[in-house]
Amino acid sequence: RTVYVNGEFLPEDRAMVSVFDRGFLMADGVYEVVSVLDGKLLDFEGHLVRLKRSLAELSMDNPLPDADYLTVFRALVRENGIVDGLIYLQVTRGNPGDRDFAYPPAGTKPTLVMFTQSKPGLAEAPAARTGWRIISIEDQRWARRDIKTVQLLFPSMAKMEAKARGVDDAWMVEDGLVTEGTSNNAYIVKNGTIVTRALSNDILHGITRAAVLRYAAEAQMRVEERSFSIDEAQSADEAFVTSASAFVMPVVEIDGQAVGSGQVGPVARRLREIYLEESRKAAI
């Protein structure tokens, strides 16, 4: 695999960063994941806008002019022959040459890394037909979940807990209300209304969420942006999650209890179809 590091395209075994990099020592970095379908990028612009917001929130320099991100993404897709898959992009505060809590002096170059992951048949994931089973878990992350940082230890622990309990993912809960999934936004459907938590610092502002809510409104579906509990989710007609890599993924069981019929519901199925169709059309 050819990966991109700080302006160079290198074979993956020659792509390296310093042990003093603040991403490595302090999880001082942000990232984005963009899907590739049929060799084209989904929601590219949205991910770039969010990347710049994450960088600005952390007073981190943007390492590239906007147009160059697209050029590098396309070069990586081409070089690696990606038909369906993902592009991972990470910016860290770079290498100050030693370990220190204070940020390095202005002018210290951020570290920029991008690589591809090939996922043949990404849009035809068999799980989309059967749906995910999930558990709930107390949300123990920090309070700025709107910034897409590489500080992913708690979501990773939650994912391991889900695996240990034989299910697919976990929804995190704070003050009795669902925040989001380990790496996705959470939704329920009741009497035809799609319900998802409103945007705030408590959750990541999902790019797929924005697209799905837009398509739902265009299709005259009712949407309510408000919080909900696990109890309410368990007695909903349907549940699902969205993310750049899972698109729209139905959820059919929460903490051992079937949601609705326990099968993939019509709203989640339709939204997945619409999202895939519309975002493929808009892909660049």
Q: Is 46 helix (H, G, I), strand (E, B) or coil?
A: helix
Q: Considering the complex, state which of residue 184 and residue 227 has its C-beta at the smaller distance from ligand PLP.
A: 184
Q: Considering the complex, state which of residue 54 and residue 185 has its C-beta at the smaller distance from ligand PLP.
A: 185
Q: How far is the CB of 89 from ligand PLP (least distance, A)?
A: 12
Closest CA to 279 of 184, 207, 189: 207
Q: Considering the complex, state which of residue 54 and residue 92 has its C-beta at the smaller distance from ligand PLP.
A: 54
Which residue has 């942000």 as its token pair?
A: 30
Euclidean distance between CA atoms 277 and 284, whole angstroms = 14
Q: How far is the CB of 47 from ligand PLP (least distance, A)?
A: 7
Q: How far is the CB of 71 from ligand PLP (least distance, A)?
A: 22
Alpha-carbon 5 to chain mean position = 22
Distant-in-sequence, close-in-space partners of 154: CB < 8 Å, separation ≥ 6 = 139, 140, 141
Q: How far is the CB of 187 from ligand PLP (least distance, A)?
A: 11
Name the residue type at position 178.
Answer: V
Q: Considering the complex, state which of residue 185 and residue 234 has its C-beta at the smaller distance from ligand PLP.
A: 185
Q: Considering the complex, state which of residue 133 and residue 197 has its C-beta at the smaller distance from ligand PLP.
A: 197
Active site residues: 148
- Do 41 and 75 meet the contact criterion of CB atoms below 8 Å apart? no
Q: Which residues bind ligand PLP (CB under 6 A)?
A: 33, 180, 183-185, 204, 206-209, 242-244
Q: Residue 9 forms beta bridges with which residues?
A: 4
Cα-atom radius of gyration of the chain, to the nearest Å? 19
- Do 17 and 136 meet the contact criterion of CB atoms below 8 Å apart? no
Euclidean distance between CA atoms 47 and 34, whole angstroms = 7
Q: How far is the CB of 21 from ligand PLP (least distance, A)?
A: 22
Which residue has 């309410």 as its token pair?
A: 232
DSSP state, residue 69: H
